[in-house]
Structure 1
Amino acid sequence: MTDLTILAGKTAYQKIKDGGLSAQDIGAVIGASGAAKWLAIYGLDCAIFGHWLKDLERPVTLYGTSIGAWKLAAASRTDPIAAMEQLAEVYTQQRFTKKTSKNDVLVGANQIIESFLPAGSEQEIISNPNLRYSCGIMRSLGGFATDSTAGIVRGMAGGFMRNFAGRQYLKPYIERYVFHDPRSLPGLSASDGIACNHVALSEQNMQKVVLAAGSIPYMLPAVENIPGAPVGLYRDGGLLDYHPLMNFLPGDDRLALYPHFYDYFIPTWFDKKFKKRHLHHHIPELDNVVLLAPSRSFVEKLPYQRIPDRKDFKAMIHQYDDRVKFWNTTQQRSHQLGDQFMEAVISGKIRDHVQLIPAA
């Protein structure tokens, strides 16, 4: 187990130490924002959704933001491995130049979505017998409810200042919307004072919802007027819940599985550059969470000794072949994480390898 780090909150840790971990112990799977970083755990997700969670006694809730929402939508298809492979392949093969416009990016985003969620496939997701897909996006409010460049700059600057004082102060700028499987409401609750508004997914709104889940300000226009939801502009939910930290399973004794590319959490997009706001310790929301992440030694063995990043599109703009090779190599090696996870849960050795999330 040199490649995979397994961390658990207090309740989850004790449950694993006492009896290991089975698919029936899982009540939710969480997907974090992070764009190309997802490629570092692609193989882990393939193992989880393609094999481990195939036969369940009770449905499992899925909740993700940004790329986490995209990969979980792909994972909810009838053939999750094929859908995730399509997502990874088309995402990796994007090519940008200095002349790439916002409309070019939008066309590319739609092509990616069509690769893993083609028209007519929505029903597979909302009728999946084992999985209940949901995703988080945000509705812009106040001065942020605009798609003009100047307005977005002012809105993002205001968001930085408000978030610095506390996430609850984002409330005048952002509303959290959870688009969910129409068969059940996900039991999600947040402690930041920003409510979870619920809207049922349908064949009519699925494509728009998934696009909105990845609509990063500056990069993509907001998605307007999603069917079934209040009128407004909808954007990437990672602005508010970059690495979602919520009460995922209130009233449920099962655990939340969190395949992640980091062994820590960044609460909001606005916290990315403030390392003091990165969460490395236990909080109540992590009590029943099992965090799976690449180990430091795994990352050090990758090309460039790091995981892929969306910034590579710009940093390696003249090295397209090198970037694609780097990302493909990371994706291929990520199967080691899936292999080690499956071996740990099947053999029961996860009891020896799980670590308690440190106290504050």
Structure 2
Amino acid sequence: MSATGSAYRRGPFREGDRVQLTDPKGRMHTITLTPGKQFHTHRGHVKHDDLIGEPDGSTVTNTAGTQYLVLRPLLSDYVMSMPRGAAVVYPKDAGQVIQMADVFPGASVVEAGVGSGALSMSLLRAVGDTGRVHSFERREDFATIARANAHAFFGEDHPAWTVTVGDLVESLPDAVEPGSVDRVVLDMLAPWECLEVVADALAPGGVLICYVATATQLSKVGEAMRDFGTFTEPQAWESLVRGWHLEGLAVRPQHRMHGHTGFLISTRRLAPGVTPPPRKRRPGRGYAAQEEAADEEASKGTDVTAAEAPPGTDDAEWTSEALGERVASAKRMRKLARGVVPPSPR
């Protein structure tokens, strides 16, 4: 029995397949092959019927003489062009999550939130049909779009995937047995709020990896991991990808690159009753002095007002808008949800 979706990744183009047309200038267009339909640009059109039955990696010429290279889109291509309500996790970061969290075939993985489903599809690819991906998303409209995007890519509903609409803290204890989860991936505004339920769900040695957009989030979740006491010392990093221009002797970095998209921070669950070894690298003097001053004020019973509190102290401040993210309007979300109804199984 073939793995889910593999039948749609090889062989001649069939009705319902998504294909990517690339013109001589490198512009890409993704279409779904439908008998009788045509793909139009301002420079001619291509008949879908001319592509159905052709092998992957073919070329086709439109009515104006423009030649297109025709290929099935890779997962990395698909996630960058699929319908989205929330910002997607870029392929460069999804690859880091899979590798650095050591997501393996048959693993039990918890993910929150789902967004548009980009990272979910990479996780499903990694765990295979024998694994489990339990995804949690607070917003029903995001979950609807994610399910439709995954269905369109795999060609069917993935048997390893369960999507729960609800809050992770409230829903996770009912969804999994304590100590039964191998990996947890959090892509959310305030992952530090979920550490207790995540620690209960993770098996000893299990990996927790968080994807956050800003340095303030990175700092807060890192300190929360240390303070919790049941995780190893967290490791944080980001990845930058810069393409290169290759033409004869003109070999140089491209002017545009995928710069900062987000930070990744990972840690591992310790065995029950085990405390992490003391850190040999102590925080800077300024940090220690700040902590001592805060403890002293607390011992005196001094009331620190919201105006005096440092930014990020109040969890209500952690919103998508405050972190500079573009938030899709309700009107746009309704339009996207109407347009991504999963097709019938092929």
Q: TM-score w.r.t. structure 1 length?
A: 0.23
Larger helix share, 1 or 2: 1
Higher relative contact order (CA 8 A, sep 6+): 1
Larger strand share, 1 or 2: 2
Larger radius of gyration: 2
